[in-house]
Amino acid sequence: MTESDFISLIDCRFPYHDSAEAERLIARGCSISPNAAFMVVDELVRVPASATVTPETRLALLQQVDAHFEHPLKDLVLAVAAQSIRGTGLSLPQAIANMHAIAPFPNQYCALSVVYSSANEPWEEVDSLFNQIVERWSAIA
């Protein structure tokens, strides 16, 4: 399965309440690529409106990602995700600093999305930085 196939498979369809399937998908995403693993994290942060899932369940699933995955951005992204799941978004300086920390890692779009979506408000500066980073990565590809 490709990274793109995996992302399409779980996008707005993550099985939050099926622990065996959730664990299987977490392990699979973590084995495909860092961006696929961070997509799982993004699904835990940005739950679709059609899903009802407690913060406790999401945090437990986040711990499973932590156990299956190693990457230089993992600690930063999982900390931001946990903070967001607990209902505490990032301040503008925190969001900007974290986005700059992700920028040197091309194509980690889902890691960038976790930080972007965890900002307390969609500030113009955050939007602009997000777009600049994505443009830089696209130019590299």
pLDDT on residue 122: 64
Please write the tens of the pLDDT for every residue from 5-16: 999 999 999 999
pLDDT on residue 123: 80
- Residue 90 near residue 69, CB atoms below 8 Å: no
Q: How far apart are CA 15 and CA 107, in angstroms?
A: 25
Please write the tens of the pLDDT for every residue from 118-141: 998 768 899 999 999 999 999 997
Please write the tens of the pLDDT for every residue from 27-86: 999 999 999 999 999 999 999 999 999 999 999 999 999 999 999 999 999 999 999 999
Q: How far apart are CA 95 and CA 74, in angstroms?
A: 16
For 17-45, give one letter per residue: b (16+ CB within 10 A) or e.
eeeeebeebbbbbbebbbbbbbbbbbbbb
pTM: 0.95
The CA radius of gyration of the chain, in Å to the nearest whole number, is 14
- Residue 21 near residue 15, CB atoms below 8 Å: yes
